[in-house]
Amino acid sequence: MSTAWALVTGCAVVTFAIKAAGPIALGGRALPAWFASIVALMPSALLAALVATHSLANGDRLEVGPVTAGVLVSALVMRRTGSIAWCVISAAVTTAVIRAL
């Protein structure tokens, strides 16, 4: 098998296993109150981490760049319009324009 196909197979297997692990181990059980109160806040923590690492870091270096500016503009657009489409488009356009300068 070539490296490319081994990569595709390997990534598919680990992704399947990771996504299956929680539901297999803990599925169908009742939800204790403390568990629910943590879970309810997990999207905020995980999504904020995704935003931060993709707009303020380049690999393992912290960095402010065109993407940072694009994401800042998209936050303002999202607040004003509430539109996910405009939010995403404004981020891409801002980043592209700054790179083109």
Partner 1 sequence: MPRERFRAGARAAVPFALAGGLLSASFGVIAVQAGLPDLAAIVMSFVVFAGSAQFAAVAIIGAGGSLGAAIVAAALMNSRFLAMGIALAPSLPGGVLRRAAQGQTVVDASWAMAMRPDGTFDRHFLFGATAPQYLAWVLGTVIGVLGRGVIGNADRFGLDAVFPAFFLALLMTEARHPHSRGVAIGGAAISLALTPFTPAGVPILAASVAALWGLRSRPPA
Answer yes or no whether residue 60 interacts with partner 1 by CB under 8 A: yes
Using CB under 8 A as the binding rule, whether residue 46 contacts partner 1 is answered as yes
Q: Which long-range contacts (CB under 8 A, 24 or more apart) does 86-91 make?
A: 91/67
Place of tokens 């070539």: 2
Minimum distance, C-beta of residue 27 to partner 1, in the bound complex (Å) = 4
Instruction: Compute the least distance from the CB of residue 31 to partner 1, in Å.
Output: 4
Task: Tell which positions 10-39 bind partner 1, by CB under 8 A.
Answer: 10-12, 14-16, 18-31, 33-39
Q: How many whole angstroms separate alpha carbon 48 and alpha carbon 50?
A: 5
